[in-house]
Amino acid sequence: MKCNIAVIRGDGIGPEITDAALSCLYAVGVKFKHEFNYTFPLLGGEAIDATGVPLPPETIEMCNKADAVLMGSVGGPKWDKLPGHLRPEKGLLGIRSAMGLYANIRPAFLYDSMKNASPLKNEVIKNGIDLVVVRELIGGIYFGERGQRRTERGQEAYDTEIYSVAEVERIAKTAFELAMTRRKKVTSIDKANVLETSRLWRATVDFVAKNYPEVTVEHMLVDNCAMQLVKNPSQFDVMLCPNMFGDILSDEAAMITGSIGLLPSSSLGVGTHGLYEPIHGSAPDIAGTDTANPIATILAAAMMLSSSFGLNNETLAIQNAVNKTLNAGYRTADIHSSGFKKVSCSKMGELIAMEILQG
């Protein structure tokens, strides 16, 4: 199969972790006889430096022409003082919107070999952690009307949360369809005791649920959910979240599995055209040191092979290679502890690629 992939290497550790992922895709191509063709559009800080804007028009064109997009990381303190519309993160929000990617899928899985790295007690994680956060991606408070104004109380700022029934329906359907392939449970997260948008969200989720009688549905307030994730994470299967709540809770879910550097995400719309990335940021403090953890980006590439190309065996090959490498005791700096073998970012990529070829 020929696969055309737009690779956004991005800022900070982005080039290092994407290079490691590409080495694993090369191994997949050799083992399974696929041809991966790459383009390298600019986005975020690197785009600002080169073009003056975080999302050049040619980037949108290149991403929409590709079969899928693999991305490293975006942002950094170098660009923090720019106006909001010129910040690197504006480019990320923009490409999601331009590609029509409304569903962000973030799995959180605790490997047996990583239980010692979880900050939770053994009795809390004895039943494991295997959940998926389904986050609405192009609506809510991140895309509502915003601004600043002068009032009698002085200067104030505002951000507006808006959700339509149609927006909630489509992300709810994504969550329910995913739950049907897993343990058939959806926990919908909201703040319905306070927010009008959450009351609409809850009512719409209940309406969609009628089409999935096999799926158990529960509603949970976001503050309670934050507590339950560290109290009893094994209770969760599919977590359905509005944009901002999903953004926050998925990072919490990542950390209780041992490291934010282990978990990938996919951003999907209609069809198979998607964007795949690690859930962590650009980590500018370690950029260029070859110490970052590339596993999240490698697993994002695995998600891409499955969701955009239907290559399930190839996805499994990458996942198994990651698991074998961790079981063999190799660790990057973020997950290293006494008794394990510390390796660099590039070396971790090489080890996983080697396992793919030998598996």
Question: Catalytic residues, which ones?
Answer: 142, 191, 223, 247, 251
Would residue 290 be called left, alpha or beta, if left means φ above 0 and alpha means ψ between -120 and 50 degrees?
left
Q: How far is CA 104 from the centre of its chain?
A: 7
Would residue 167 be called left, alpha or beta, if left means φ above 0 and alpha means ψ between -120 and 50 degrees?
alpha
Tell me how long the chain is: 359
Q: Which amino acid is at 309?
A: F
- CA-to-CA distance for 51 and 42, rounded, in angstroms? 9
The answer to whether the beta carbons of residues 347 and 292 sit under 8 Å apart is: no
User: Which residue, 73, 66, 70, is CA-closest to 7?
Assistant: 70
Per-residue three-class SS string for 149-164: EEECCEEEEEECCCCC
Angle at 103 between CA 98 and CA 225, to 5 degrees: 135
Angle at 249 between CA 10 and CA 290, to 5 degrees: 35
Other CB atoms within 10 A of residue 117 CB: 20
The string of DSSP codes covering 32-58 is: HT-EEEEE----THHHHHHHSSSS-HH
User: Which residue, 118, 114, 130, is CA-closest to 325?
Assistant: 114
For 251, list phi and psi in degrees, rounded to 5: -70, -40
Per-residue DSSP letter, 260: G
Angle between helical axes of 312-327 and 14-32 (0-180°, round to 10): 120
